[in-house]
Amino acid sequence: MNYLITIVGPTAIGKTALSIKLAQHFNAEIISCDSRQFFKEMSIGTAVPEPEELTAATHHFIQHKSIHQEYSVGHFEREALTKLDELFTHHNTVIMVGGSGLYADAVINGLDYFPTIDASVREGLNKKLDTEGLESLQNQLKELDVETYHQIAIENPHRVIRALEVCIGSGQTYSSFKNKPKTPRNFTTIKIGLTADREVMYDRINRRVDLMLDKGLLKEAKELYPLKDLNALQTVGYRELFSFFNNTITFDFAIQEIKKNSRRFAKRQMTWFKKDAETLWFDYLSPTDSILKEIHSKLE
């Protein structure tokens, strides 16, 4: 029997540290499903594991793409399943870790498939984004598909436009194409979630942002500023600093916005992950031994 142990939870909760401990315990390798850590130009702002963490266990899908490459959840699903087939020939357990719920779900359950939409629909929505702003698109999505409006990362223009183009191009809601029967997987998934009291979670996020700044986030964002319109860079931590470089907001306000938007992101992550009743939740301070005990009870 092949087992995929997944570790989920909000940003800055300690998923990386736990994944390494589990990988070492099971002599396993790690697949990252953090959709922003895929890109090699984005290290500090995406909290890529430290070099010593990357050498403590074998990692896959960390900084393996360029922000100039189009890389979707569909690409990731196909590549991750191929990698899992390869890893399961040597190990019966693999660890998957990351806060990108959609990407984790694609590997575990398979993607929903949507109709092909005429490119002119997306072009029109991109023009509307430029002329009327993101809020206009958010309101349109709320009218056409309120379920999706409450489920997706509503501050991500790419996600909003994708949902809208399906609604407009198909005449059906984006949500109506979801949750259809999927291709069965050749592994059993054990889902581990890390959490903390909200005040603790938010404090950890605030401190992580400060640490990113100490490590050189401002310099990294400055170097990426000429590429600010790329989809990969529509990310908390970069967007706000781009606004600072534009002289739209002050530096202090940009930092407060990064912290605020990171906290909002964490809240959305928890909303997504808490929907899955199969996830075994642990406080982030739980001893690794207690987590392993639960895992081994599932393995048996």
Known binding residues for ATP: 9-16
Backbone angles phi, psi at 264, to 5 degrees: -65, -40
Structure-token match 């087992």, residue found: 3
Q: Which of 203, 217, 228, 252 is nearest to 48 (CA)?
A: 217
Identity of the residue numbered 247:
N
What is the four-CA torsion angle of 252, 253, 257, 263, rounded to 10 degrees? Answer: 60
Q: Which of 280, 189, 277, 185 is nearest to 5 (CA)?
A: 189
- The binding site for substrate consists of 11-16
Q: Which of 34, 38, 35 is nearest to 63 (CA)?
A: 38
- The binding site consists of 9-16
Q: Which of 80, 39, 58, 9 is nearest to 230 (CA)?
A: 39
